[in-house]
Structure 1
Amino acid sequence: MDCDTGIDDALALAYLCSQPHVELVAVSSTPGNVAAEQVARNNLSLLELCGRPDVPVAIGARAPLRIPLTTTPETHGPQGVGYAELPEPHGKVHDVDAVELWVEAARSRPGELTALLTAPLTNFALALRAEPRLPELLRGVVIMGGSYYYQGNTTPTAEWNTHVDPHAAAEVFAAFSGLPEERLPVVCALETTERIELTPEHVAALASEAGCTEPELVLPEQPEGRRSMASNELVRHVSDMLRFYFEFHRRYGQGYVAHIHDYFAASVAAGTARYGTRTATVHVETAAPRLIGTTVADFRGLWGEPPNARIVSENHPGEAFAELVSSLGGLARRLPDTTGWERP
């Protein structure tokens, strides 16, 4: 998994930790929602919180390929995890660069690994430069990014990940041009990830599944900044992350909801989501100032170029939330509470 953690990245990572059939080989940290060092700290803390301190966390690039880094404290908070105050991690960042870690893992286990990319595609583009055979070495690739015939969430036409590093996104899609359909990346774009719209009721259901004694106190709509009173440690942190995300969406006129884009991509990578795709040739704009990061999909072959992506065209939000509540709630229920916390 390569991420820029990020509230929805955090949910995606915790969800993968809840899946017994998923082997997390490594988590690489890309600058995006916050700087790479903070992303790595968030990843280390979350993995330890979820009982997976064994998973290596690495850092690769510190900035996009060609343009300055843009972060998003207004969306995810200054540390990337909303109001949550994650425990200080005991582990350290892996001493091997993330790009080297990706390449060595793929070479040592050809045909076994799935790449889940929920961040700007900087690290993956660098890995492709280092090992152009990655599309053949990997079992599959799942990308959260782009928007096609759909309003952007960062500019009127661009989605966040492709806007932060459009040059990396362009390199990644170009690397898959002309490959067999089964080798093309599965792309989870805004038109389907924004259908995964989480509400306070979903969080209360998660708290109940986790065995919280008073789930109704977990996340009611309330004054900004108030902390969660959940009796389960993981649910407390998730609730404090999501409250910030809910408030962000409300400030921008979308209601007291949260679009958890990266969780859906994680469920696709884990094989737990039901979805449909359409093949397309994707172009990422890197030059026109107002269109930087805009993604355009040719579904009909009008450019006369081979497809380079399978774009998700159908998903099922009700099933996605039932899966999230059951799996993440089960993990939270199994984990010990190490804080000695008592509700005031």
Structure 2
Amino acid sequence: MDCDTGIDDALALVYLCSQPQVELVAVTSTPGNVDADQVAQNNLALLELCGRTDVPVAIGARKPLQIPLVTTPETHGPQGMGYAELPKAGRECEPTDAVELWVEAARARPGELTALVTAPLTNFALALRAEPRLPQLLKSVVIMGGAYYYQGNTTPTAEWNSHVDPHAAAEVFAAFAGQPEERLPIVCSLETTERIEMRPEHVAALAEAAGCSAPELVLPEQPRGQRSAANSALVRQVSDMLRFYFEFHRDYDQGYVAHVHDYFAASVAAGTAWYAARTATVHVEAEAPRLLGTTVADYRGLWGEPPNARIVSDNRPAEAFAELVSALGALARRLD
């Protein structure tokens, strides 16, 4: 998993930790929601919270390929974790660069590994530069990013991850042009990830599934920044993260909800989500200032270029949240 953790990245990582069938080979850290060093600290702390100190964490790039880094403290908080205050992890990052780690793992286990990227595609682009055979070496690739004939969440036309490093995104999609359909990246873009809309009742259900001694109420009428008192450490941290995210979405007139984009991408990578997808040729705009990071999909072959992606076209939000509540509830019980 390569992430820029981030509240929804955090939920995705915790979800993967809840899945006994998932082997987490490594978690690599890309700058985006916060800088790369803070991303890595968040990843280390989350893995420790989930009892997974066996999973290596590494840092790769510290800035996008060609443009200055932009972070988003208004969306995820100064440290990327909303109101959650995770204890500092008791270990440090791997000395190996994230890109080296990606390449070494793929070469050592050809055809076995899934790459899940919920961050700007900077590290993945650098890994492809270092090992152009990655499209053949990886079993599959799942990417959260882009908005196709759908309003952006960063600019009128651009999604966050694509906007932070459009040059990297363009390189990644170009590298997959002409690959067999089963090797094309599965792209979870805004038109389906914004359907994965978390609400207060999901937090309450999670606490109940975790066996919490009292209801977990994260409600719009409560004071801004109120902290959870749940007796489960996992529920308490997730609740404090999500309250911040609910408040952010409300501030931007989207309701007291949270779009947990990256959890959906993680469930696709883990094989636990139903989805439908369409092949397309993706173009990422990396030059026009007002359109930076805009993604366009040619579904009909009008450009005469081979497909380079499979874009998710449908999903089942109710099933996704039933899975999330059940899985995280079970993990919280095991940890407590």
TM-score normalised by length of structure 1: 0.97
- For residues 204 and 333 of structure 1, the distance between their equivalents in structure 2, rounded to whole angstroms, comes to 15
The alignment status of 1:14 with 2:11, answered yes or no, reads: no
- For residues 35 and 43 of structure 1, the distance between their equivalents in structure 2, rounded to whole angstroms, comes to 12
The alignment status of 1:24 with 2:24, answered yes or no, reads: yes
**Cα pair 1:34 1:80 within 8 Å, conserved:** yes
1:164-313 paired onto structure 2 within 5 Å? 164-215=164-215, 217-221=216-220, 222-313=222-313
CA shift digits 1:63-106 (9 cap, x unpaired): 00000000000000000000000011001100100000000000
Match of 1:96 in 2: 96
Deviation (angstroms), 1:315: 0.1
- For residues 43 and 207 of structure 2, the distance between their equivalents in structure 1, rounded to whole angstroms, comes to 22
CA shift digits 1:218-258 (9 cap, x unpaired): 42331111101111100000000000000000000000000
Amino acid corresponding to residue 57 of structure 2 in structure 1? V
Match of 2:44 in 1: 44
The alignment partner of 1:207 has SS state of helix
1:313-324 paired onto structure 2 within 5 Å? 313-324=313-324
CA shift digits 1:138-165 (9 cap, x unpaired): 0000000000010000000000000000
Amino acid corresponding to residue 220 of structure 1 in structure 2? L
1:328-339 paired onto structure 2 within 5 Å? 328-336=328-336
Amino acid corresponding to residue 27 of structure 1 in structure 2? V
Count of equivalent residues: 335
Q: Is there any run of 5+ residues in structure 2 with no aligned partner, and where?
A: none
**Cα pair 1:218 1:229 within 8 Å, conserved:** no
Deviation (angstroms), 1:186: 0.1
Deviation (angstroms), 1:181: 0.3
CA shift digits 1:3-62 (9 cap, x unpaired): 000000000000000000000000000000000000000000000100100000000000
Q: Is there any run of 5+ residues in structure 1 with no aligned partner, and where?
A: 337-344
The alignment status of 1:156 with 2:159, answered yes or no, reads: no
The alignment status of 1:140 with 2:140, answered yes or no, reads: yes
Amino acid corresponding to residue 231 of structure 1 in structure 2? N
**Cα pair 1:218 1:236 within 8 Å, conserved:** no
The alignment partner of 1:19 has SS state of coil
The alignment partner of 1:172 has SS state of helix
Runs ≥4 residues deviating over 6 A:
none
**Cα pair 1:31 1:69 within 8 Å, conserved:** yes
Amino acid corresponding to residue 218 of structure 2 in structure 1? L
The alignment status of 1:70 with 2:70, answered yes or no, reads: yes
Amino acid corresponding to residue 97 of structure 1 in structure 2? D
Amino acid corresponding to residue 110 of structure 1 in structure 2? P
Amino acid corresponding to residue 123 of structure 2 in structure 1? N
CA shift digits 1:315-339 (9 cap, x unpaired): 0000000000000110011103xxx
TM-score normalised by length of structure 2: 0.99
Amino acid corresponding to residue 63 of structure 2 in structure 1? A
- For residues 261 and 95 of structure 1, the distance between their equivalents in structure 2, rounded to whole angstroms, comes to 30
Match of 1:79 in 2: 79
Amino acid corresponding to residue 204 of structure 2 in structure 1? A
- For residues 119 and 144 of structure 1, the distance between their equivalents in structure 2, rounded to whole angstroms, comes to 7
State, as a whole percentage, how many aligned pairs show the same letter: 80
**Cα pair 1:207 1:218 within 8 Å, conserved:** no
Match of 1:339 in 2: none
When the two chains are superposed, the root-mean-square deviation of aligned CA atoms in Å is: 0.5
- For residues 223 and 156 of structure 2, the distance between their equivalents in structure 1, rounded to whole angstroms, comes to 30
The alignment partner of 2:33 has SS state of coil
